[in-house]
Amino acid sequence: MAAEEAREAAMKEFDGQYLLIVDGSIPTKDGGVYSTIAGRTNLDMLQEAAKGAAAIVAIGSCAAFGGIPHANPNPTGAVAVSDIIKDKPIINVPGCPPIPVVITGVLTHYLTFGTIPELDDKGRPLSFYGDSIHDRCYRGRSTTRASSPSVSTMKAPANGWCLFELGCKGPTTHNACATVKWNQGVSFPIESGHGCLGCSEPDFWDAGSFYTALSMPADPVKYTAAAAVAGAAIGVAVSYANRSKKAAAKTAHQPATLADLEKKP
Ligand code: SF4
């Protein structure tokens, strides 16, 4: 009750001036009943609080893009702040979880300059999300890629091998993990030996296996099963088509080749 009174008092005193910070996605199904605070739906509270805000900061991948609650089949109808609020500037600070230094950096920018930082096409501040993880990854200097989970476990972390073949989504993920890092600069997931999951990109949870390399088809089992149930002649045709699909997928989704990695400074 005290927290709600403080929020309402702040909204009244600083009407039109305050920065609204939202954490979490917003359930919309059945009137938003799947998430409530003090008896009110989050949907209702967001719409009310947004009216008097100068701008909104959507903290975390849930608030920015819907996150895991938004993942298929999304039983609560969870959506991002930007799916509901259309008439206010929104700064997305995704990450699952978001990096604390990035959060404070964005808030400090607004408090210092009174302006919204320059954003990319997904509403993320370019100063933190302008480069991909891969652009800044120290493993990009490695000329050796780990090629199987056992190799990764045994050698890749110690040797600093690139984790691309083990499913690292660093080439298609934009965030500051490789520069700011975590725990006051101690480390980040790739430095600890695990590929990037792509958590600061929209719909990362539905984007296929975390352990499938970007150059491979998302579901190789599906291709194999389709060929098995078809007749011999059809099977040959399907197999040929699948090889073409795989080749196309490799071309379309492989943003970096080993040669590219070796060129990295
Ligand atoms: S693909 Fe390799 S170099 Fe790129 S981010 Fe992943 S581990 Fe780093």
pLDDT greater than 60 at residue 258:
no
Q: Which tens digit of pLDDT belongs to each residue from 123-181? A: 999 999 999 999 999 998 555 566 655 554 445 556 678 999 889 999 999 999 999 99
Percent of the chain's residues with pLDDT above 70: 74
Does 81 sit in the ligand 1 pocket, CB within 6 Å?
Answer: no
Q: Which ligand 1 atom sits closest to the C-alpha of 163?
A: 7
Ligand 1 atom closest to the CA of 169, numbered from 1? 6
Share the mean pLDDT of the chain: 82
**Total structural domains within the chain:** 2
Per-residue confidence (pLDDT) for residue 150, from 0 to 100: 52
- Does the pLDDT of residue 247 top 50, yes or no? no
Q: In this structure, how many other beta carbons lie within 10 angstroms of the beta carbon of residue 126? A: 12
Q: Are residues 209 and 92 in the same domain?
A: no
| 167 within ligand 1 shell (Cβ under 6 A) | no
Residues 178 and 133: beta-carbon distance below 8 Å: yes
Q: What confidence tens digit (pLDDT) does each residue in 215-224 have?
A: 654 444 433 3
Residues 45 and 147 in one domain: no
Same domain, 107 and 137: no
**Shortest-distance Cα residue to atom 4 of ligand 1:** 134
Q: 116 and 52, same structural domain?
A: yes
In this prediction, residues 34-61 reach a mean pLDDT of 96
* Residue 122 shares a structural domain with residue 160: no
- Domain co-membership, 112 together with 149: no
Q: Please, what is the angle between helix 232-253 and helix 220-229, to 10°?
A: 160
Least confident of 61-75, 179-193, 226-240: 226-240
pLDDT of residue 254: 37
Q: Which atom of ligand 1 is nearest to the CA of 140?
A: 3
177: CATH: 4.10.480.10
Q: Which of 190, 191, 201, 260 to mutate to test the pocket of ligand 1 (most atoms within 8 A of CB)?
A: 190
Global pTM reads 0.78
Examine residue 117 and say whether the peptide bond preceding it is cis (omega within 30 degrees of 0).
Answer: no
Distances (CA, A) of 5 to 1, 9, 10, 16: 6, 6, 9, 18
Looking at residue 260, its pLDDT comes to 45
Q: Is 133 in the pocket of ligand 1 (CB under 6 A)?
A: yes
pLDDT at 1: 82
For ligand 1, whether the C-beta of 60 sits within 6 Å is no
From 94, 126, 158, the end of a domain falls on: 126
Answer yes or no: do 104 and 168 share one domain.
Answer: no
Domain that holds residue 49: 2-126
